[in-house]
Amino acid sequence: MVRPLRGRCALIGPRVSVAALTRRGLLLGSAAAATSLALAGCAGRGSRRPWEGEPESAEGLWGFADMSGAWARPPRWHKARGSVGGLALVQHGDPAGAAEADPPLVGLLGRDGEMAFDPIAGDYGCALSQGAFAVDADWEGHSKALVYYGTDGRRLAPAGEETFEDACPFRPADALFGEPYAFARASEGGWGALSLDGSWLMAPSFRGEVMDRLYDEPNEAGLLVASASSGHFKGSWGVADASGSWVVGPRYDGMERFVAGHGGLFAAFEEGGLWGALAQDGSVAVPAAYGGVDRLADADLWLAEDPESGLWGTLSGDLSGWEVSPRWSARVSFPAPPSAGPMLARDPESGLWGTASPGDGSWVVEPRWDVGGDDRYPIPLGGLGPGLVSVADPEGGLWGAADTSTGEWAVAPSYSWLADLAPGLALACDPEGGLWGLVDASGSWALAPAFKDLGRPGDDGLVPARSAE
């Protein structure tokens, strides 16, 4: 929790792929054209089905492969996501080359290979989750016109709200709301929370970005970090409850979501360009005097960044000074075993990563791993096993899975890239052919590298895959 991540919603959704490793915005189109397109169903079961038949070339198109590498459903889609509840979100047509007479189509593909309902003219908006997804109805890209749909093709929108300017995937019920919800930005107004029945659970009254939308973890606090949309404090950050009422008034320059820390839940806040932390009751737990702060979940420790040197250390118990003087140029508190460590940390001299004890500052695993740049971090590989991270060998430049407790390679550095994907599987790029496959915890290819891109396997066992041929 160093600083708020003030990016846009994850519009593409939970697919983990090469494209998902960098955040990209969505070009949206005119509201007038959007409305007509959104309301128009296309390609019904009795009409033309442009995705049927053999495409002129399958190169670059998406299909669904089984774990042998064979196509269970041949590549014919311009976008595809793994099956959720037996339905896979797919899109036929690239908005860049589409025309009004032949728009891109978004639909849900069932296990039988049939569409669950007539496809919708538009571009991907956000992924299928909790029985709903969003489509950018104005696929030409002149304004913002996102529309939610249920898995039955039913449109989800409050009365008078034709489209949304931004749309986040639906999340399961948690301490914030006792039912599934999605953060959405009204076409005229701020951010609110939408129910699956299309009504507002929380009126769209917040400006800027609702921080909780950026994370997959449940909202444990039942509180919302948000910024004011109007008035003297417009743009300032505070804490609201599920009704949209301020619990801590908007008076801070920035805030991050509440996260579990030893002894409670805490949120980082910015004041005057420096960072401190609030307790769940709104009291100041750490004064705003640092470049960043973090609370280790399983240890009674605060980490802080010295604003002068930019290095991280550990604060003393009474917050009067440094327990461990600033010495790490970056740190990551995952994986987070109990009792103060170890944590991942970067050595400022070599630029390499190891694991260190935040309790006394000593190296547990001497710095030995590269991550390809100062703005990058080791990637957790929980799918392959606890305590594993994706890092590179500084000598060969190839990536593997390292054990943070021993420093040894659990999976030898043999790949151009390695990223977490699913239980027992990691996404890997073959350095020889530059194609993608899946590896297991032993480092063996579970799915041979034969594809331009891969997505997260669906609940039907099939893998969304982009053809290289």
User: Considering 218, 250, 271, which residue would you say is the last residue of a domain?
Assistant: 218
Q: Which two tokens stand for residue 75?
A: 């590549």
- The winner for highest mean pLDDT among 9-23, 129-143, 222-236, 335-349 is 129-143
User: Considering 162, 193, 218, which residue would you say is the last residue of a domain?
Assistant: 218
Gyration radius (Cα) of the chain, Å: 24
User: Considering 185, 203, 218, which residue would you say is the last residue of a domain?
Assistant: 218
User: Which helix (H) or strand (E) element contains residue 354?
Assistant: strand 353-356
Tally of structural domains, the chain: 2
Strands in 399-403's sheet, in edge-to-edge order, are: 379-380, 388-392, 399-403, 409-415
Q: Which two tokens stand for residue 284?
A: 């100041």
As a whole number of angstroms, the distance between CA 252 and CA 237 comes to 5
When comparing pLDDT for 84 and 3, which is higher? 84
205 contacts 139 by C-beta, under 8 angstroms: no
Helix-strand-coil split of the chain, %, nearest 5? 5, 45, 50
pLDDT tier for residue 24 given thresholds of 50, 70 and 90 = very low
Residues 9-33: what's their mean pLDDT? 28
User: Which helix (H) or strand (E) element contains residue 176?
Assistant: none
Within-domain flag for 444:
yes
The mean pLDDT of the chain is: 85
356 contacts 343 by C-beta, under 8 angstroms: yes
> Strands (DSSP E) along 190-290, which ranges?
191-195, 200-207, 224-228, 237-240, 246-252, 254-255, 259-261, 264-271, 274-279, 284-290
Ramachandran area for residue 262 (φ above 0: left; ψ -120 to 50: alpha; else beta) = beta
The CATH number of residue 430's host domain is 2.40.128
User: Which range of residues forms the domain containing residue 189?
Assistant: 9-218
Within-domain flag for 56:
yes
Q: What is the pLDDT of residue 29?
A: 29
Decide: residue 46, CB within 10 A, 0-12 exposed, 13-18 middle, 19+ buried: exposed
Q: What is the pTM of this model?
A: 0.84
Within-domain flag for 69:
yes
